[in-house]
Structure 1
Amino acid sequence: MVKEIKLIKDGIWLMEVNVAVDLARETALKILYDITENQAYSNISVNRHLDNDKLREIDRSFATELVYGTVKWLLQIDYIIGKYSSVKLKKLSPWIKNVLRLGVYQLLHTDRIPVSAACNTAVELAKRYGHQASSRFVNAVLRNISKNIDNIPYPDKSDIASYLSIFYSHPVWMVQKWIELYGKEFTEELLKSNNQVPDFIIRTNTLKTDRQTLLDLLHKEGINAEPGRYIEEAVILKNPSSISNLETFKKGYFQVQDESSMLAGKILDPKEGETVIDVCSAPGGKATHIAQIMNNNGTVLARDIYEHKLNLIEQSCRRLGIDIIKTEIHDACDIDENLIGKADRVLIDAPCSGLGIIRKKPDIKYSRTENELKEITDLQQKILNIAARYLKVGGYLIYSTCTIQPQENLEIVQDFLAKNAGFKLSGFRELMPSALDISSSEEGYIQLYPNINQTDGFFISKIKREK
């Protein structure tokens, strides 16, 4: 839509221009500004801005793609802008900087948007959120980049960490750490996988239906769905959109959950009538899966420190038809003397760096620092030491994280076992899906990687209290 408007920013009249800015790109720009300038979480900002009646479903999808794609490739994009801009990135206004970022993302990482469309729409956004000179500057930078797409001067491969950092848009400290742990070839495959769009996985609620029936119902709702890779309840949605509007969702026939997360419940292997404590439960995917495995018979105590997150668990329980989950506000770092020795099973899905879910939350790459890992591991050790005391003798505990950092995973478990003689790792190879044969499961732990297993990067260990 073309119309004449007065541009006003921070209460100051700027200019009158004729503009034609599509709503999807403008919405994406506002979200990107919120993320980069206000440090907003990408998923929260996206949900807030897309709750707009003026946006069609196709606009919401396109805006979401633009935001997550730009954030995913932000390090690379800023590097390229720096190579082709006559003005240093830090001296650009935040609005114009983000207009350029959106434009560069479309030029480099989409194959269905013509160069002219990417450039022209960026110019119109620059007019609205800057001034005439800004629009000319944006046009010049993007046109220059478009002419040199096949000749971008990336760092020399002789400095492999710097090259991989920019080429795959991951912080250099992270790349260096993974090269030390896994080698160059594995690290490059991991980085490549982190930039891919993950499958959208849901879990069949077997309390209400079975997987084949769910697949049939989803197909009738226009959803292209197929069985998951590993877990018998898992379903992959190929064209997910407006999940909450589906009748199958409203009726509680499924829950959104990655297969790696489902695996934690499978390996915990709770039995009907048992008492299970989930000490870091929100948003409740694992707790509801555990209740499902228990056939809604027994007790699951789901705890978290935030009431609004526990409310989400309760909402899921009502929709899924689960009534054995009891929610409580409780800090996992504080011992509950009333629960010592009372649980048959304990689940610790520990707070972690989240470096195994970069595919889903790309801003994690930039919000984490190497120094933070020490604080995180201290927290993980404390939670494990406290939660283990809730186990009965003969009971089992799962310690899991959504990261691939050994210091948050196996090293935490080994440190705990070295200091607590009554606990041992417990092998669980018989509980593993036949399509996921990981030898370390015999020893009591597994590490999943997105580049190998096509799941989230996820660690699971199983500990038994023997005395």
Structure 2
Amino acid sequence: MRLHRNLVAAVVEALHQIFVEKKYADKVIEKILQSNPKWGARDRAFIAENTYEVVRWWRWLLFLNEIEYTDAYFPTREDLWKIVGVWQISLQTQLPDWQEFTGIYPKKVFQKIEESKKIRKVFQSIPDWLDEIGEKELGKFWEKEIYALNQSAPVVIRANTLKTTPLRLQNLLLQSDIPTVEVKNVPTALVLQKRMNIFSSPHFKNGLFEIQDASSQQVGTMLEVEPAMRVIDACAGAGGKTLHLAALMENKGKIIAMDVEQWKLDELQKRAKRANAQNIETKLIDSSKVIKRLEASADRLLLDVPCSGLGVLKRNPDAKWKMQLNFVENIKKTQREILQNYSSMLKKGGKMVYATCSILPSESEEQVRWFLSEQKGDFELLEEKRISPAQSGFDGFYMARLRKK
């Protein structure tokens, strides 16, 4: 593959904004791709994919460049050019004779690659704290899980059954040269066979589908909603699971989508309009009174709680460099507060799903056990499911369905 200076420079600029200016990778890449309308699809793919992969393998690439990884390290632009150059060598790309790549020796790089294989946290490119907590909580399974989380995420869409069927959508996409494959046991999920900007598709703009991982789609199904029910999605965010619930309920009954941030609910309303989801009401949680007013009012309650997001590192590789162990410890306290306080909105006999996109039992199974012990028999566990990235190829998720007696 022949490298083009302007594209490599764009990758270097993106990495500078991510690691020096501490911006989020997805936002950085989006803005950089918008900065040059002359770039074609192949150019844009090169910039996006190489930026994400360098971010994913950051610690490993520092090791290959003989740079010590620390939280306090801020790369110079000279460093970034060499880091990108070494990444290209690892892909068996022959480097052009550019001044920025002076001093990079392929033979030495491959020697360092062999050396890196002996150190898991380097070879799997993760911070020390993550390797320690992963091994502590997952034991022998940690090696396979972190390997799976370092692979590129597939692009998965959910057919919006308020407007189409999965089969009809699959045929429409194929006519637009967007081939997809079905996902076993997830009837509305389709996986794109080739990566592309799916947001530009007229079928997306017409609300025929949403981007949603196959694991995430199983959360809505787990709640066992029915058309006439009153459902509360208490941590709705921008509404991916809310929209799925609306489709499962066939636009009947009522969904109250709640969040602590208004901008997320505003985005949900835009998405609901595109999806023709008409049974959703949004409600900002700006005080404890909001929860109290809805006490014992829901037939179904979804608590897709804030979490570490360690199950979705495939699609958010920069998260592992921005996160610290104290964040994980603090988020566990938030999860317990939500379980304790928000569960009051469920009617007697109603069902609740607690879900996280984390691979850690301490955020998932252990939190449910704690909640059940605190409730002293008021709730019972009906079913729980753990989705492993290593086994499924999709995001890591945990979900538990409980009933209020």
Amino acid at match of 1:370: L
Alignment of 1:33 with 2:16, yes or no, is yes
The corresponding residue for 1:179 is 135
TM-score (ref. length: structure 2): 0.93
Instruction: Specify which of 49, 61, 82 is matched with residue 77 of structure 1.
Output: 61
The corresponding residue for 1:452 is 391
1:233-286 per-residue CA deviation (whole Å, 9 max, x = no partner) reads 110111232212212112211111111111110010111111111111122110
Matches within 5 A, 1:54-453: 54-82=38-66, 94-108=76-90, 110-111=91-92, 114-117=93-96, 120=98, 123=99, 135=100, 138-140=101-103, 142=104, 144=105, 146-152=106-112, 154=115, 157=118, 163-184=119-140, 186-331=141-286, 336-427=291-382, 444-453=383-392
Gaps of 5+ in 2: none
1:72-131 per-residue CA deviation (whole Å, 9 max, x = no partner) reads 000011111116x9xx998986211221221121111x35xx3224x63xx3xxxxxxxx
Give 1:307 shift: 2.5
Give 1:331 shift: 4.8
Given the superposition, is the C-alpha separation of residues 323 and 26 from structure 1 closer, same or farther in structure 2, using an over 3 Å criterion?
A: same
Q: Distance in 1 between matches of 2:50 and 2:117?
A: 29
Does structure 2 retain, via aligned residues, the 8 Å contact 1:203–1:233? yes
Residues 306-315 or 357-366, more deviating: 306-315
Q: Distance in 2 between matches of 1:356 and 1:89?
A: 22
User: What number of residue pairs does the alignment pair up?
Assistant: 400
The corresponding residue for 1:47 is 30
Does structure 1 retain, via aligned residues, the 8 Å contact 2:386–2:397? yes
1:132-176 per-residue CA deviation (whole Å, 9 max, x = no partner) reads xxx4xx411x2x2x123432262584xxxxx11011101222222
Does structure 1 retain, via aligned residues, the 8 Å contact 2:189–2:214? yes
Gaps of 5+ in 1: 1-19, 124-134, 158-162, 428-443
Give 1:39 shift: 1.1
1:284-307 per-residue CA deviation (whole Å, 9 max, x = no partner) reads 110000010000001111122222
Does structure 2 retain, via aligned residues, the 8 Å contact 1:275–1:298? yes
Does structure 2 retain, via aligned residues, the 8 Å contact 1:400–1:459? yes
Does structure 2 retain, via aligned residues, the 8 Å contact 1:31–1:45? yes
Q: Distance in 2 between matches of 1:354 and 1:332?
A: 26
TM-score (ref. length: structure 1): 0.81
Does structure 2 retain, via aligned residues, the 8 Å contact 1:334–1:386? no
**3-state DSSP of counterpart to 1:40:** coil
Q: Distance in 2 between matches of 1:370 and 1:234?
A: 34
Q: Distance in 2 between matches of 1:208 and 1:230?
A: 21
Does structure 1 retain, via aligned residues, the 8 Å contact 2:63–2:116? no
Does structure 2 retain, via aligned residues, the 8 Å contact 1:252–1:320? yes
Given the superposition, is the C-alpha separation of residues 103 and 313 from structure 1 closer, same or farther in structure 2, using an over 3 Å criterion?
A: same
Q: Which has the larger radius of gyration?
A: 1
Does structure 2 retain, via aligned residues, the 8 Å contact 1:281–1:349? yes
Give 1:314 shift: 1.1
**3-state DSSP of counterpart to 2:303:** strand
Q: Distance in 2 between matches of 1:291 and 1:367?
A: 34
Q: Distance in 2 between matches of 1:332 and 1:293?
A: 30
Does structure 2 retain, via aligned residues, the 8 Å contact 1:201–1:228? no
Given the superposition, is the C-alpha separation of residues 221 and 48 from structure 1 closer, same or farther in structure 2, using an over 3 Å criterion?
A: same
Given the superposition, is the C-alpha separation of residues 415 and 78 from structure 1 closer, same or farther in structure 2, using an over 3 Å criterion?
A: same
Q: Distance in 1 between matches of 2:158 and 2:74?
A: 46
Given the superposition, is the C-alpha separation of residues 386 and 334 from structure 1 closer, same or farther in structure 2, using an over 3 Å criterion?
A: farther
Residues 338-347 or 414-423, more deviating: 414-423
> What's the Cα RMSD here?
2.2
Amino acid at match of 1:458: F
Does structure 1 retain, via aligned residues, the 8 Å contact 2:138–2:360? no
Given the superposition, is the C-alpha separation of residues 90 and 290 from structure 1 closer, same or farther in structure 2, using an over 3 Å criterion?
A: closer
Does structure 2 retain, via aligned residues, the 8 Å contact 1:422–1:465? no
Q: Distance in 2 between matches of 1:303 and 1:240?
A: 33
**3-state DSSP of counterpart to 2:95:** helix
Q: Distance in 2 between matches of 1:179 and 1:307?
A: 38
Amino acid at match of 2:125: S
Amino acid at match of 2:131: V
